Structure 1
């Protein structure tokens, strides 16, 4: 969803003013002036946080597949719950109370058997017998993104296997459990981010770093979703962009994992406090040049936006030619 508050609108105007002051009518930076300055985010902070976990240590196609699997899982959970309730209703006898004592016992057994898939185990605090993926559904569908309550009591190994999450399953479960148990106050985090100052950023970053799995990259992504644009979450895609982007000047040919944080600070400092918006405008423009108008890109092609499909063709050609000459 888009932030459409007056507060966010003021940020957009300020960003555009900075771009105009820096570049004027330069044709080479038209993409910066045409960039709206608005960034989509998820309907809930929990969803943003989980998706930021899914971005770590994998290609974008893997991130998409994991997010899709979580939505499919949510559909399965809801379908099973609906089936359980429907089955219970179907077994409720429509007879006078005096004649239903024997049937009540049967209703109770059916309800308990169905509900056992979703209720919390009092012994191990998990839903270890939830095996949705092994029970074929009559139809397949896509649900919403799962809520903390829907994830908190799932078995870790089941979640990891069902959604191909790997080590991320543990982190997502702990996050969901922390929210459900009240140890992680998402509403309070949202309230505290209304003042997007450097001091509030530092405080929020420290609080997020206390959550298992929330390192610098994940925290920076979450805080960007919350409206802090002065820090650029840097990863391998950032390095590729700084080295290879052709629509802007090549920023840093020698950029590495060790130097990327320093490089983006130096390169985008002039756009403060909106460094991320300038960086993202460049990235978005580059993706558009490589893949066409992104708003018209079929959903099935989203997975093509990976590092292997963004290599500088000229550089790749030179490397192949050099290898051939050496042979």
Structure 2
């Protein structure tokens, strides 16, 4: 739900800019179900030329496939998860909306989620997209009139920390954002490696923790976006859900009892439950107007229990990671 993603509540179109094959030029795109064949997608690209090159068409298709998790691997994961989770099968749930490239959704946006309210996270993401629009003001009129895309690693690496802080109000995160972008641009971090088969969760996790600002929550989120669903990225929202729904004094035991039966898809089970809670509070997320995105959060602090367990949250996240790591070692 962070910018530049926008689900049009009236048309049910998913709208946002996507990059062409040159990885620089962005065009506005809307994605919807085909009116004739509901099993197909209709992708409309708003551009000023009669046709797009085959390379540009493929670049857009690849980004849409990643966003909507419609690869063969994703299809297999959905089927396996729905065998374990009857409600998910009934609702057709099993995919988490991602973003078109690994750099945007995972590392940077996860940093924006840390130690701040959801409303302010949305504000920072919007400011980054507006700043990106300013950076391309010298391009065609068409691009200037569309909302900005999320900044690329090159754009962020060339931006000063001071500008990031003042223009986007990201505070201390500016240092981590810029450093990660510079590492990507210099080749110290190869994002393509993260989505190649053959690397384990533990290998990629250790690689991510080498970056300053990447704790358990950020690393687990990055790896969830790649397709590792067995470690739940735990934050205050996780804590609110467990305390609100299960009212337990033992958060760790409850999380284990609830979600381990869906292994290795604990994240998907967790997100289904979280979305159910959100939609009870507001309305169907796909029908929610963009102006109300900041309401998609559980209620604020839930009494003394929240204060008591908030101190355990980092320890809880680390414990879940170590438990799953030890399980894998025993299996070997």
Residue 174 (structure 1) aligns with = 179
Query: How far apart, CA to CA, are the structure 1 residues paired with 2:84 and 2:127?
Result: 41
Contact between 1:32 and 1:281, CA under 8 Å: does it hold in 2? no
Query: How far apart, CA to CA, are the structure 1 residues paired with 2:210 and 2:301?
Result: 35
Alignment of 1:108-127 (within 5 A): none
Residue 33 (structure 2) aligns with = none
Render the CA deviation track for 1:86-119: whole Å, top value 9, x for unaligned. 9xxxxxxxxxxxxxxxxxxxxxxxxxxxxxxxxx
Query: How far apart, CA to CA, are the structure 1 residues paired with 2:187 and 2:99?
Result: 21
Query: How far apart, CA to CA, are the structure 1 residues paired with 2:241 and 2:128?
Result: 30
Contact between 2:229 and 2:264, CA under 8 Å: does it hold in 1? yes
Between Structure 1 and Structure 2, the one with more strand by share is 2
Q: 1:151 aligns with which of 144, 150, 156?
A: 156
RMSD, aligned α-carbons: 2.4
- Give 3-state SS (helix, strand or coil) of 1:4's partner: coil
Render the CA deviation track for 1:120-163: whole Å, top value 9, x for unaligned. xxxxxxxxxxxxxxxxxxx9862000001111021111111110
Query: How far apart, CA to CA, are the structure 2 residues paired with 1:288 and 1:311?
Result: 19
Alignment of 1:160-309 (within 5 A): 160-191=165-196, 194-195=197-198, 200-245=200-245, 250=246, 252-255=247-250, 259-260=251-252, 263-308=254-299
Residue 109 (structure 2) aligns with = 51
- Give 3-state SS (helix, strand or coil) of 1:231's partner: coil
Residue 15 (structure 1) aligns with = 81
Render the CA deviation track for 1:19-42: whole Å, top value 9, x for unaligned. 24xxxxxxxxx4674142001111
Query: How far apart, CA to CA, are the structure 2 residues paired with 1:275 and 1:31?
Result: 12
**Superposition deviation, residue 242 in structure 1:** 0.6
* Greater Rg over alpha carbons, structure: 1
Query: How far apart, CA to CA, are the structure 1 residues paired with 2:152 and 2:296?
Result: 28
**Superposition deviation, residue 311 in structure 1:** 6.0
- Give 3-state SS (helix, strand or coil) of 1:82's partner: coil
Q: How many residue pairs are counted as aligned between the two chains?
A: 235
Contact between 1:31 and 1:282, CA under 8 Å: does it hold in 2? no
Query: How far apart, CA to CA, are the structure 2 residues paired with 1:224 and 1:18?
Result: 19
Asked if 1:74 is matched to 2:79, the reply is no
> Which runs of 5 or more structure 2 residues have no equivalent in the other structure?
1-66, 306-332
Between Structure 1 and Structure 2, the one with more helix by share is 1
Contact between 2:209 and 2:219, CA under 8 Å: does it hold in 1? yes
> Which runs of 5 or more structure 1 residues have no equivalent in the other structure?
21-29, 87-138, 316-327
- Give 3-state SS (helix, strand or coil) of 1:206's partner: helix
Render the CA deviation track for 1:233-288: whole Å, top value 9, x for unaligned. 1111111101113xxxx2x5225xxx54x542332111100011111000011111
Query: How far apart, CA to CA, are the structure 2 residues paired with 1:190 and 1:13?
Result: 21
Query: How far apart, CA to CA, are the structure 2 residues paired with 1:62 and 1:7?
Result: 34
Query: How far apart, CA to CA, are the structure 2 residues paired with 1:220 and 1:75?
Result: 30
Instruction: Tell me the TM-score normalized by structure 2.
Output: 0.66
Render the CA deviation track for 1:183-221: whole Å, top value 9, x for unaligned. 111111221xx35xxx70000000000011111110000
Specify whether residues 210 and 43 from structure 1 end up closer, same or farther in structure 2 by C-alpha distance, changes over 3 A only.
Answer: same
Query: How far apart, CA to CA, are the structure 1 residues paired with 2:173 and 2:146?
Result: 24
Query: How far apart, CA to CA, are the structure 2 residues paired with 1:234 and 1:221?
Result: 9
Query: How far apart, CA to CA, are the structure 2 residues paired with 1:141 and 1:160?
Result: 24
Contact between 2:83 and 2:89, CA under 8 Å: does it hold in 1? no
**Superposition deviation, residue 5 in structure 1:** 1.2
Q: 2:97 aligns with which of 32, 40, 46?
A: 40
- Give 3-state SS (helix, strand or coil) of 2:200's partner: helix
